[in-house]
Amino acid sequence: MRRALVYALVAAATLYCHYFAMLVVASHLASVAFLPAGRRPWGRLVVAWFVLGAMAVPAAWMIHLQDPGHLNWVKPPSWLELYHLGAFLAAESGKYVGSALLALDLVLIGFCYLPLKRAWSAPNPGMDRWRYMLVLSCLVTPILISLAISIAIPIFFHRFLIICLPAWILLVAVGVEQIRSHRQRVAAIAGVCLLSLISTGISYTRTREDWRSVARDLIAQAGPEDRVLYYEPIAYFAAENYRDWLPGGNIARPAGVMVVANNEDWRKKIETTPRVWLVTYPVGLHDKTQAEIEAELEKRMTVAGQKSFRAVTVTEYRTR
């Protein structure tokens, strides 16, 4: 019973670190179905679920009170985002390195079929079957649940599913263990380590956006009657969230407007404002939509200034 209480307390604490931790608990719950019929500790499970459920009520209420509009930048699920998830779990960065490491990891995870098959076909598998299914559930269940929820509210975004990373790594390790040839096994481990090291180097050396400085500049310069146009959904999410907790962020706060392709709502929201701040991300991105935004603003206003931050540009427009 002590273990059940400790599990419930730790699991409940994780919910207040990241809401997606609920999906980890759901993964554990799903794995119970694979326990041997006589090895399911229903008494301890009921106690753990009851305590966990009681402690999760405030978190559930917080989720209920929040406006889901802060997730408007998340796009509906796609095969591309599924690939991004795999590349994120494998390497996190590096377009070509990430693809190579993803392919290698998937091959190694494929080898997990062998021990799983042995455990499944054993006449008396004991706990072995459940151990493999627990790890597999921790990888697959969060993905399936987030995809199902995304039918109503898109939440399927690769970074949110970092909770699947421990299961991914464990499955890769199990796959490596199935390689019988010592030389091939060492080569597989060396390949994973080398590609991971290169990916880490790329991650720490690539340009990252200085959203904090962008938010600070807008706090200092923009007034409540102004409008801030963010081209690219991530720009709106990053800058506005930084502003939420920076000193003075909610004093004289201008309205933030997210601009996306094939949506003209932003034009109406700047009709009466004397000043507009256009935030473009990243530097160098100048596609058709950005050109249209700049052309429309230049028809109505005059460029009063421009500041470049790391990978972000902020342009000030004033009414003529």
CATH number of residue 231's parent domain: 3.30.110
Output the pLDDT for position 136. Answer: 92
Q: Residue range 168-187: average pLDDT?
A: 92
Q: Which residues contact 255 (CB under 8 A, 6 or more apart)?
A: 226, 227, 228, 269
Structural domain boundaries, residue 44: 2-205
Q: Is the pLDDT of residue 242 over 90?
A: no
The pLDDT-based confidence of 187 (bands split at 50, 70, 90) is very high
The pLDDT-based confidence of 98 (bands split at 50, 70, 90) is confident
- Chain length of the chain: 320
Query: Are both 167 and 230 inside the same structural domain?
Result: no
Q: Is the pLDDT of residue 283 over 60?
A: no
Q: Residue range 272-290: average pLDDT?
A: 79
Query: Are both 21 and 162 inside the same structural domain?
Result: yes
Output the pLDDT for position 307. Answer: 92
* Among 301, 298, 314, residue whose Cα is nearest residue 235: 314
Place of tokens 């991530």: 234
Query: Are both 151 and 240 inside the same structural domain?
Result: no
The pLDDT-based confidence of 145 (bands split at 50, 70, 90) is very high
Q: Residue range 24-50: average pLDDT?
A: 82
Question: Last residue of some domain: 157, 182, 205?
Answer: 205
Output the pLDDT for position 209. Answer: 83
Q: Is the pLDDT of residue 267 over 80?
A: yes
Output the pLDDT for position 186. Answer: 93
Query: Are both 156 and 235 inside the same structural domain?
Result: no
* Among 229, 212, 315, 208, residue whose Cα is nearest residue 271: 229
Query: Are both 196 and 231 inside the same structural domain?
Result: no
The pLDDT-based confidence of 168 (bands split at 50, 70, 90) is very high
Output the pLDDT for position 285. Answer: 55
Q: Is the pLDDT of residue 127 over 80?
A: no
| Span of 128-137, 169-178, 280-289 with lowest mean pLDDT | 280-289
Which one has a higher pLDDT value, 41 or 246? 246
Q: Is the pLDDT of residue 28 over 70?
A: yes
Output the pLDDT for position 207. Answer: 64
| Span of 73-82, 141-150, 170-179, 217-226 with lowest mean pLDDT | 73-82
Which one has a higher pLDDT value, 277 or 38? 277
Query: Are both 183 and 52 inside the same structural domain?
Result: yes
Query: Are both 29 and 76 inside the same structural domain?
Result: yes
- Count the domains in the chain: 2
Query: Are both 166 and 251 inside the same structural domain?
Result: no
The pLDDT-based confidence of 57 (bands split at 50, 70, 90) is confident
Query: Are both 60 and 186 inside the same structural domain?
Result: yes
Output the pLDDT for position 228. Answer: 94
Query: Are both 122 and 199 inside the same structural domain?
Result: yes
Output the pLDDT for position 70. Answer: 63
Query: Are both 154 and 233 inside the same structural domain?
Result: no
Q: Give the pair of three-digit tokens for residue 167.
A: 């299961």
Query: Are both 144 and 263 inside the same structural domain?
Result: no
Cα 297 to Cα 270, 273, 306, distances in angstroms: 9, 12, 14
Q: Assess contact for 312 and 282: CB atoms under 8 A.
A: yes
Question: Last residue of some domain: 205, 237, 260?
Answer: 205
Q: Tell me what the pLDDT averaged over the chain comes to.
A: 85
Question: Last residue of some domain: 143, 176, 205?
Answer: 205
Q: Residue range 81-92: average pLDDT?
A: 88
